[in-house]
Amino acid sequence: MSLPSWFTLRADDSFQLGPRLFPGRIWTASGCFSYGLSGHEMKTSQGGSPYSGLGAVVTKTVTPQPRSGNPMPRLCELPNGAINSIGLENVGLDAFLENVLPRLEELAVPTVVSLAATVPEEFGLMSQRLQEVAAGFKHWHGVEVNLSCPNVAEGGHDFGRDPETVASCVALTRAQLPDRALLVKLTPNVADIASLAAAAGQAGADAVSAINTVVGLDVDLSTGRPVLPRRFGGYSGPGVLPIALAKVDEIVNKAKVPVVGVGGISTAEEAMKFFALGAVAVQVGTAQMRDPFTAADIARQLS
């Protein structure tokens, strides 16, 4: 592809974010590449893999205890994206630390661990356990605190809407992670996202990830009922791109906190729009579920 003259970044160059040097600026978004263990056997005709050129894989969100997730169906594709209500289905922190993170280290996957909890104190405790188990890991770069999942009744939807709560979660996590990057994933379902980003930065976050999914609903006309059993879900994909760009621009200009842009990216051109607004990196989400080579292809094209 032909790059515009203003674009001077190299997506596959390392860059500093907080205390960590990340190997690139194109990441995969949480929940969209599972835990980062799948796809290592896949190769293109040129020998590339879904991990080629990636700066980080943000894992599926991990909670203190295992979660079975919400009732099926959990995902419905739409013309301009998808709506999901996964419910943070995951193996739980103990199994993740025993079986998943060590394997990611063996495979040299640059990893950011996504964490979710229902009270601020749990973020500190989970981060402490992470640090105890993986302090010597070379490829574990940091944590993304998920304060914005719209699919968990006990905390998720409103958990990241209050600047004081955001600051508390960040401060407790930061205290346990002196040498790892700390990011905060923010909800777009608020009137003032910049105040949340500013609170995160003041409490010790190295960056914020913006945005998570937009609350949405779709209807099955054969039944006249919402397509998801829980009615509402998180809408993602191409349809949220303009919303994500607007929120990133707001944070960059008002909060002065580094931003990792996410939302609707499926091409190199769309990733460049986030960089044009000042994002330091981007995450590829829904498109990565459709084609696991998407993020790697974007990294290749931009470099």
Per-residue pLDDT reduced to its tens digit, 158-186: 568 889 999 999 999 999 999 999 999 99
pLDDT-derived band at 231, boundaries 50, 70, 90: very high
Across-strand partners of 225?
220
Is the CB of residue 184 less than 8 Å from the CB of residue 200? yes
Residue pair 134/105 in contact (Cβ under 8 Å)? The answer is: yes
Sign of CA dihedral 71, 146, 99, 17: positive
How many angstroms separate the CA atoms of 17 and 214, rounded? 27
From CA 40, how far away is CA 151, in angstroms rounded? 30
Answer yes or no: is pLDDT of 157 > 70: no
Can you read off the two tokens belonging to residue 214? 């937009």
Does residue 46 carry a pLDDT above 80?
no
Structural domains present in the chain: 15-69+90-215+237-302 (3.20.20.70)
Fill in the DSSP letter of residue 90: B
Report the SS3 class of residue 77. Answer: strand
Active site residues: 149
Residue-level pLDDT at 154: 46
Q: What is the pLDDT of residue 153?
A: 44
pLDDT tier, 43 (very low <50, low <70, confident <90, very high otherwise):
confident
CA-nearest of 129, 134, 132, 141 to 63 is: 129
Phi-psi region of 85 (alpha: psi -120 to 50; beta: other; left: phi over 0): beta
Task: Judge if pTM exceeds 0.75.
Answer: yes
Q: How confident is the model at residue 152 (pLDDT cuts 50, 70, 90)?
A: very low
The DSSP secondary structure of 195-233, one letter per residue, reads: HHHHHHHHHT-SEEEE--PEEE--EETTTTEESSTTS-E
**Averaged over 45-71, what is the pLDDT?**
93
Question: Does 288 have pLDDT greater than 50?
Answer: yes
Q: How many other CB atoms are there within 10 angstroms of residue 188's CB atom?
A: 19
Mean pLDDT score, 145-157? 60
Answer whether residue 148 shows pLDDT above 80.
no
- The token duo for 24 is 């690139």
Mean pLDDT, the chain, whole residue set? 93
> What confidence score (pLDDT) does residue 212 get?
94
Q: Is 160 helix (H, G, I), strand (E, B) or coil?
A: coil
Radius of gyration (Cα) for the chain, nearest Å? 18
Per-residue pLDDT, 149: 60
Q: Name the percent of the chain lying above pLDDT 90.
A: 85
Exposure b/e, 9-19, CB count within 10 A at least 16 = b: eebbeebebbe
**Encoding tokens for residue 55?**
């700066």
